[in-house]
Structure 1
Amino acid sequence: MRSQHPDKTGHGYVIERYVMRMDSDAPRYLELNGARALRPGWPHAERFARHMIEDAVSITDEELEALLAYEWRSRLTGAWLIGVGRRESFRERIAGLLLASEVCYSGAGYCFALARFATREDSEILTAYLDHYLARTDLHYDQGAALGALLHLDARLATHYADRFTQPDGPWNQWVEGVGRLGYPSHTPAELRRWTDLQCGFANGWSHV
């Protein structure tokens, strides 16, 4: 899938409006990637949250598509806006982007959006991703974010999709050992689920939906 600048579809303004928006001392995409909004006591939290939900409601499908068709900053931002607004019509698009894993960082946004949609279909998308990418012990992509989202959904939906990944000496542990040899740190499944819980809990507080 080739990256396309929003200018090509007449949506060049979406980068400045949604991705580079300054609700703090850093552009929005950096705040989403660094997750300062989840830290207690962050002084810009109220304004950041208010503008996120306003944009998640007002952004059009065409504008979201323009974000998802470009590079990682716009894809990450678009995925978060989709997740906050629970735009489930983008489920298939998000699934395709996650499984393709074309650019860095944005995959965590896709996993957040799927966790927000919160259906078994979303669990199956995350499962398909983990089936494919946990087998790649030479790659550190978004395996952690995907497992955290899947564990979050298991707890919410009373399902057990993640069980076969997290069993002793199972795919998760084998992947952790593999990327550990490459020098990549990892987190426990409990830590990863807690992170997704924080993201979704904060988004629930923003949107009250």
Structure 2
Amino acid sequence: MPSQHPEEIGYGHVVKGYVTRTYGGLPRYLVLNGGRYLSPRWWHTTRFTRHLLSDAAAITDEELEALLGYEWRSRLTAAWLIGVDRRERFRARIGDLLLASEVCYSGNAYCFALARFGTHADAEILTAYLDRYLPRTDLHYDQSAALGALLRLDARLGTRHADRFTEVDGLWDEWVKGVERLGYPSQAPAELHRWTDLQCEFADGWRRL
């Protein structure tokens, strides 16, 4: 589906208002994508998180749709806002975007949102993604983020969806070998699980600010 600038549908304010607002000289989308908010030495964390909480609560569904219909920076930011506010009514939309994998980087944010929703339905979406993209050993998309999110959901739901992916010489091992040949680094499943936990637990902490 081709992207559409929010200005074309009457929401020209959303990119500047939600995506490119700066903190310490960095736009919001870049802080989210790089994980700078997790650093205890980043002086702007409190201001950044307060604004993100406020925007996640205030943004309308129509504004979120305008962002989700645009490019990767806007989609990434929208998915984070959806995840922080746990707007589960966007589950199907997020799932469709993740499975389509049309643009770079935003997939990590889709996985964060699904991990935040935290239900069996979200685990099913992540499982479907891994079924589709782990066999593609020539593609380095969002397989790592999806596995980390699925492992978190398994731990919280008491399920074992990830087991068949992470078994020895299974799909995960084969995918890792493929992308390492392409020059991409890989992380152990336990580390991916820990990273997803850090993101979600920090988001839980924001709720207490």
Q: State the TM-score bracket (shorter-chain normalisation).
A: over 0.9
Task: Tell me the CA shift for residue 23 of structure 1.
Answer: 2.7
- Equivalent positions of 1:30-69 (< 5 A) are 30-69=30-69
- Superposed displacement of residue 57, structure 1: 0.2
Asked if 1:165 corresponds to 2:151, the answer is no
Answering whether residue 84 of structure 2 is matched by residue 84 of structure 1, we say yes
CA deviation after TM superposition for structure 1 residue 15, in Å: 0.4
Q: Which amino acid aligns with 1:137?
A: T
> How far did residue 8 of structure 1 move?
1.1
Give 1:108's aligned residue.
108
Give the TM-score of the pair, scaled to structure 2: 0.98
Q: Percent identity?
A: 70
- Residue in 1 aligned with 2:199? 199
Q: How far 1:129 sits from its partner (Å)? A: 0.1
Deviation at 1:156, TM superposition (A): 1.0
Q: Which runs of 4+ in 1 moved over 2 A?
A: none
- The corresponding residue for 2:96 is 96
Q: Residue in 2 aligned with 1:74? A: 74
Tell me, yes or no, if the aligned pair for 1:24 and 1:48 is still in contact at 8 Å.
no
Q: Hey, what's the Cα distance between the residues in 2 that align with 1:147 and 1:24? A: 32
Name stretches of at least 5 consecutive residues in structure 2 with no aligned partner.
Answer: none
RMSD over aligned Cα, in angstroms?
1.0
Inter-partner Cα distance in structure 1 for 2:112 and 2:53:
15
1:84–1:116: 8 Å Cα contact kept in structure 2? Answer: yes
AA in 1 matched with 2:193 = R
1:39 Cα deviation from its structure 2 partner: 1.7
Cα distance in structure 2, aligned partners of 1:168 and 1:119: 27
Give me the whole-angstrom Cα distance separating, in 1, the residues matched to 2:22 and 2:207: 20
| Structure 1 unaligned regions, length at least 5 | none
Is 1:142 aligned to 2:169, yes or no? no
2:155 match: 155
Please tell me the residue identity of whatever aligns with 2:63: E
CA distance in 1, matches of 2:23, 2:53: 13
The two structures have a TM-score, normalised by structure 1, of 0.98
Aligned equivalent of 2:23: 23
Distance 1:172 1:12 in 2: 41
Q: Equivalences for 1:173-188 in 2 at 5 Å?
A: 173-188=173-188
